[in-house]
Each structure stands twice: as structure tokens, then as C-alpha cells.
């Protein structure tokens, strides 16, 4: 009997990534083929913003050249074509994260997605108090005595919206602490998450520590407490296979610019039954059924949360980025990045005066490493590396509480992606080894 190959079996059949393949991949990324300060560019800042392959650039350009029109608004040929490619892109992203079509909402970025959830939940209390909307809203409404739980390692985008939700509703914000190595204290998590927890929000992978959190273990604690579970997948969706249904989360967010797509596009996943009863965040055109001078009735998700003119070309480009990652193989990408990440950590730990945050060498992490150089400010480290053509991130990486917990104000962060080679890492390590001598630290 003939064996039919599925995408999964095809991916397993592909060999592991190596430098030769990565060098071919680099040809798809025009920006990488340049000199910076007279040196070939080594781009190690994909954790902040990734680069775009030609296929993604061409997908957005082709939209503007061939079918630029407003979606869901016209009956003419261009409008119909624009709507088709726009909604096809939604289905592509839904498949990419294991979500339903109606559960996939376009946002400007992950930050907007998290704010959308936060404001929808505070609006739930207002609607429930006035007897408006579905009866299930009362269960989602927060008030005094309720608790919102985050972790000590969160990006500000997954912290401040919950701080503000607590302020608006009178709920209490609590957090799960970390150990000195940055790992979540799961013993503490079991006591922090309890009967009063209404929302549990946490990052899948830390943008500073590189740690991959135990999503299913945390979700189980949230489920036992009856809490809504919100996953920040910004640092996981671009780098490893993601299935929101298997992870059993209620909401998840990601940003396109971290996964080969343009800026200005993100995704919110939400369970259908929750999206259809939550009040909208932004209101206006395109998300309504009936409007009078006194009130409006709203469409179900996803249109319920997509007011105004859409991010059409960016959504089309994000779908092209997802296809690029799928064709390359996310399992393979994750394995390659893990290899590069370990190479970075081993090399950094061997340099005197360098402290690496997060898991020690040999422990699982995504392909990034944040570090402190004794006696040299992170900004100086970054400028020194830039003088050698090496692009890294410096600062607190939108995670001030985490840095404060670890006794630091800023670090330098190097992050790899599918277009980085072992030579990139070695050039980076060689440069870092010269930092303290250069600054006479």
C-alpha cells in the first residue's frame, strides 16, 4: 500500500539544518548582504525584530500592485480579490497555530492583543452590571477580591495591561516568582494560583532568559482554579511548533515582525465561545450588524474585534512568512537555533567577567542569551559590537522587574534565527571576549 506523505512526515524526513543550508537561506534575505562599519553584517537581534525574506516582501508588494482595495466593503473585482487573499491569510495563520478560522483575530501587534483582552474583560463587568450581552459575561467580569496572576519574567506588554485591568476593576495583581537562575518557582505557582485567580497570563519563552516555560503544567493549575489562561507566544511562535489547542490556553498572542513578517501586524487567538460573548475593545465600522442613533449590535468574532480599515497587505505578508517557516520546518529551525544558543552560552560562560542570564549551558533554551559584562555598561558593549558589524540588543528588553530581581539595570542580548550560522556566533564570541580589555574594565 502506498504511503501518503503528510507535512509532518515530510518534515521528519528532512535532514537537520547545517551551515551549508543556512547560507542558502541567507540568500533569501537581502538586508543581510551588506557591510556594517566595513564588516559583513552579523544580525543577532531577531528577538526584537526579524528580517524579511524575498517571498514576504514580494507578497506585500504584489498585493499593492495587483489587488489593493478595502476588504469587506465593495462588490467590485479588486475588492473581492482583496477580501479573498485577506481571509485566506487568516486561514493560513489559523492553521499555523492550530486555531480555528473564527478564533484568529488580526491586531497591530501582540501588545494590542493583550490590551484587547484586558479591556474586553473590564468591559465585561460593565455589560454584566447593565444586563447587556450573554449571561456568561458575569463569570468573566472581575472585581474586588478577584486576582490576576502573571510571572516575574514578563515582558512589559504582558504586565502593564494586567496592572491596568486590576486598577480598573479593583482586582489584585499577583506574580509567580523566579529562582536565581531565572526558572519559575513552580512550588510557589501552586500556591499563588488559587480559587480567587480569574486570569493567569505568562510568557511561553522569556525574551531575556531564553527559558521555555512549562505551559501545560501552568495551564493545568489555571484550569484547576477556573482561571482564563493567556499565553504570550511572541518568542515561541517564530521558533518552534505551536498548537494553541494542544496547549489548552484560552488566549494567545504573537507579533508578525518577530517571525519574518512586516511590522504592524499581530495575531490574537481566543477560544470561540469566549470571543463571541466578550464585549469589543475598539468600535466603529466593519464590526457591526445594526446601528441606530442610540446603540449598535456587533458581529461575532473575528470581525467583532476588527474595527476600521484592516492591515491587509501586512496580513498577506504574515501568511507568506508562516508558509516560509512551515516549508523550512519549525522542528528543524528550533533544533538549529538550540544548537546555536548552546554554542553562545558555552562561549559566553568561558569569558572571564561575563555573566549569562537564564539556564546554564546544557539546559534547554531558545536561541538567545542575555548577559552582563562586569565593569562595562550594556550600551557600551552594544556599540563595541556594532563597530565590528555585529547587531545585538541592549537595555532592559522591556523587562525591568526581571532585571531588578536579578540585580541588574541592563544587559546585552544576542538572539539567533534560521539565517544565522555558527560563524556568526563565533564572530560574536570573539568580539565579546575583547570588550573588557578595550574598556580597561
- Active site positions, annotated: 398
Ramachandran region of residue 37, left (φ > 0), alpha (ψ -120 to 50) or beta? left
Q: How far is the C-alpha of 320 from the C-alpha of 339, rounded, in Å?
A: 26
Q: How far is the C-alpha of 106 from the C-alpha of 128, rounded, in Å?
A: 26
Q: How far is the C-alpha of 259 from the C-alpha of 9, rounded, in Å?
A: 23
Q: How far is the C-alpha of 398 from the C-alpha of 116, rounded, in Å?
A: 19
Alpha carbon of residue 34 to chain centroid? 28
Helix (H) or strand (E) holding 187: helix 186-192
Backbone angles phi, psi at 197, to 5 degrees: -70, 120
Please choose, from the candidates 40, 24, 89, 7, the residue with its C-alpha nearest in 3D space to the C-alpha of residue 388: 40
Contacts of 263 (CB under 8 A, 6+ apart): 49, 109, 256, 257, 314
Neighbours of 208 (CB within 10 A): 27
CB–CB of 156/402 below 8 Å?
no
**HSE-up of residue 294 (Cα within 13 Å, Cβ side):** 0
Cα angle, residue 412 at apex, residues 406 and 416 outer, rounded to 5°: 115
Neighbours of 348 (CB within 10 A): 22
Q: How far is the C-alpha of 19 from the C-alpha of 21, rounded, in Å?
A: 5
Amino acid at each position: 500500500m502506498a504511503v501518503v506523505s503528510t507535512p509532518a512526515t515530510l518534515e521528519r524526513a528532512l535532514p537537520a539544518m547545517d551551515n551549508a543550508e543556512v547560507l542558502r537561506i541567507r540568500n533569501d534575505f537581502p538586508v543581510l548582504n551588506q557591510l556594517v562599519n566595513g564588516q559583513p553584517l552579523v544580525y543577532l537581534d531577531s528577538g526584537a525584530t526579524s528580517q524579511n525574506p524575498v517571498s514576504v516582501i514580494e507578497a506585500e508588494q504584489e498585493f499593492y500592485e495587483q489587488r489593493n482595495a478595502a476588504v469587506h466593503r465593495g462588490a467590485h473585482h479588486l475588492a473581492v480579490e482583496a477580501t479573498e487573499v485577506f481571509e485566506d491569510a487568516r486561514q493560513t495563520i489559523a492553521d499555523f497555530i492550530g486555531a480555528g478560522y473564527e478564533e484568529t483575530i488580526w491586531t497591530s501587534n501582540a501588545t494590542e492583543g493583550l490590551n484587547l483582552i484586558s479591556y474586553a474583560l473590564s468591559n465585561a463587568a460593565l455589560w454584566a452590571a447593565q444586563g447587556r450581552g450573554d449571561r456568561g459575561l458575569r463569570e468573566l467580569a472581575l472585581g474586588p477580591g478577584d486576582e490576576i496572576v502573571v510571572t516575574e519574567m514578563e515582558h512589559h506588554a504582558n504586565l502593564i495591561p494586567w496592572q491596568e485591568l486590576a486598577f480598573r476593576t479593583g482586582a489584585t495583581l499577583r506574580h509567580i516568582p523566579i529562582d536565581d537562575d531565572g526558572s519559575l518557582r513552580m512550588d510557589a505557582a501552586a500556591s499563588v494560583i488559587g480559587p480567587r485567580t480569574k486570569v493567569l497570563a505568562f510568557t511561553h519563552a522569556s525574551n531575556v532568559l531564553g527559558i521555555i516555560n512549562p505551559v501545560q503544567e501552568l495551564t493545568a493549575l489555571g484550569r484547576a482554579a477556573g482561571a482564563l489562561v493567556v499565553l504570550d507566544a511572541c518568542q515561541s511562535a517564530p521558533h518552534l511548533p505551536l498548537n494553541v489547542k494542544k496547549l489548552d490556553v484560552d488566549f494567545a498572542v504573537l507579533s508578525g515582525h518577530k517571525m519574518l513578517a512586516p511590522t504592524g501586524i499581530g495575531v490574537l487567538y481566543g477560544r470561540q465561545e469566549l470571543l463571541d460573548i466578550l464585549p469589543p475593545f475598539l468600535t466603529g465600522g466593519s464590526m457591526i450588524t445594526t446601528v441606530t442613533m442610540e446603540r449598535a449590535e456587533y458581529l461575532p468574532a473575528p470581525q467583532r474585534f476588527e474595527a476600521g480599515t484592516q492591515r491587509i497587505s501586512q496580513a498577506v505578508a504574515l501568511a507568506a512568512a508562516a508558509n516560509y517557516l512551515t516549508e523550512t520546518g519549525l522542528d528543524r529551525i528550533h533544533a538549529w537555533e538550540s544548537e546555536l544558543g548552546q554554542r553562545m552560552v558555552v562561549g559566553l560562560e568561558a569569558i572571564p567577567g561575563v555573566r549569562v542570564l537564564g539556564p546554564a549551558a546544557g539546559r534547554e533554551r531558545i536561541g538567545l542569551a542575555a548577559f552582563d559584562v562586569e565593569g562595562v555598561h550594556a550600551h557600551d558593549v552594544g556599540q563595541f559590537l556594532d563597530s565590528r558589524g555585529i547587531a545585538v540588543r541592549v537595555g532592559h528588553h522591556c523587562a525591568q522587574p526581571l532585571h531588578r530581581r536579578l540585580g541588574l539595570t541592563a544587559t546585552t542580548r544576542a538572539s539567533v534565527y534560521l539565517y544565522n550560522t555558527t560563524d556568526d556566533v563565533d564572530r560574536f564570541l570573539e568580539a565579546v571576549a575583547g570588550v573588557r580589555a578595550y574598556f580597561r574594565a
